[in-house]
Amino acid sequence: MKKITIAIDGFSSCGKSTMAKALARNIGYLYFDSGAMYRAVALYCMQNGLIGSKGIDTATLQERISQIHITFEADPETKNSITFLNGVNVEHEIRTIEVSQLVSKVAALDFVRSEMVNQQREMGKSKGIVMDGRDIGTTVFPDAEMKVFVTASAEVRAKRRYDELAARGDNPDYNEILENVQLRDHLDQTREVSPLKQADDALLLDNSGMTREEQMEWLIDVYKKIASEC
Ligand code: DC
Q: 34 CA to middle of ligand 1, Å?
A: 7
Q: 35 CA to middle of ligand 1, Å?
A: 4
For ligand 1, say whether the CB of 135 is within 6 Å of any of its atoms.
Answer: yes
The whole-number pLDDT of residue 27 equals: 96
pLDDT band at 219 (very low <50, low <70, confident <90, very high): very high
The whole-number pLDDT of residue 4 equals: 97
Q: 175 CA to middle of ligand 1, Å?
A: 23
In the chain, the percentage of residues whose pLDDT exceeds 70 is 100
Q: What value does the mean pLDDT take over residues 140-148?
A: 97
Q: What value does the mean pLDDT take over residues 121-147?
A: 96
The whole-number pLDDT of residue 188 equals: 85
The dihedral through the CA atoms of 211, 127, 40, 179 has a sign that is negative
Q: What are phi and psi of 204, to 5 degrees?
A: -90, 130
Which residue is closest in CA terms to ligand 1's atom 2?
A: 35
The whole-number pLDDT of residue 104 equals: 87
The whole-number pLDDT of residue 193 equals: 85
The least confident of 85-99, 105-119, 125-139, 160-174 is 160-174
Print burial letters for 88-111: b (CB count within 10 Å at least 16), e (below 16).
eebbebbeeeebeebbbbbbbbee
For ligand 1, say whether the CB of 70 is within 6 Å of any of its atoms.
Answer: no
Q: Check pLDDT > 90 for residue 100.
A: no
Which residue is closest in CA terms to ligand 1's atom 9?
A: 104
The whole-number pLDDT of residue 106 equals: 95
Neighbours of 42 (CB within 10 A): 27
Which residue is closest in CA terms to ligand 1's atom 7?
A: 35
Q: Check pLDDT > 90 for residue 200.
A: yes
Q: Check pLDDT > 90 for residue 187.
A: no
The pTM of this model reads 0.92
Q: Which of 9, 34, 116 to mutate to test the pocket of ligand 1 (most atoms within 8 A of CB)?
A: 34
Q: Secondary structure of the chain in the HEC alphabet?
A: CCCCEEEEEECCCCCHHHHHHHHHHHHCCEEEEHHHHHHHHHHHHHHCCCEECCEECHHHHHHHHHHCCEEEEECCCCCCEEEEECCEECCCHHHCHHHHHHHHHHHCCHHHHHHHHHHHHHHCCCCCEEEEECCHHHHHCCCCCEEEEEECCHHHHHHHHHHHHHHCCCCCCHHHHHHHHHHHHHHHHHCCCCCCCCCCCCEEEECCCCCHHHHHHHHHHHHHHHHHHC
Which residue is closest in CA terms to ligand 1's atom 18?
A: 133
The C-alpha atoms of residue 187 and residue 195 are separated, in whole angstroms, by: 8
The string of pLDDT tens digits covering residues 81-92 is 999 999 999 999
The string of pLDDT tens digits covering residues 104-119 is 899 999 999 999 999 9
pLDDT band at 199 (very low <50, low <70, confident <90, very high): very high
The C-alpha atoms of residue 27 and residue 47 are separated, in whole angstroms, by: 37
The string of pLDDT tens digits covering residues 33-53 is 999 999 999 999 999 999 999
| CATH code of the domain made up of 5-229 | 3.40.50.300
- The residues, any chain, with a CB within 8 Å of residue 155's CB and separated by 6 or more, are 178
**Closest ligand 1 atom to 104 CA:** 10
The C-alpha atoms of residue 161 and residue 165 are separated, in whole angstroms, by: 6
The whole-number pLDDT of residue 155 equals: 95
Tell me the domain boundaries of the chain: 5-229
pLDDT band at 173 (very low <50, low <70, confident <90, very high): very high
Q: Check pLDDT > 90 for residue 28.
A: yes
Q: Secondary structure of 121-154 in the HEC alphabet?
A: HHHCCCCCEEEEECCHHHHHCCCCCEEEEEECCH
The C-alpha atoms of residue 23 and residue 129 are separated, in whole angstroms, by: 10
The whole-number pLDDT of residue 139 equals: 95
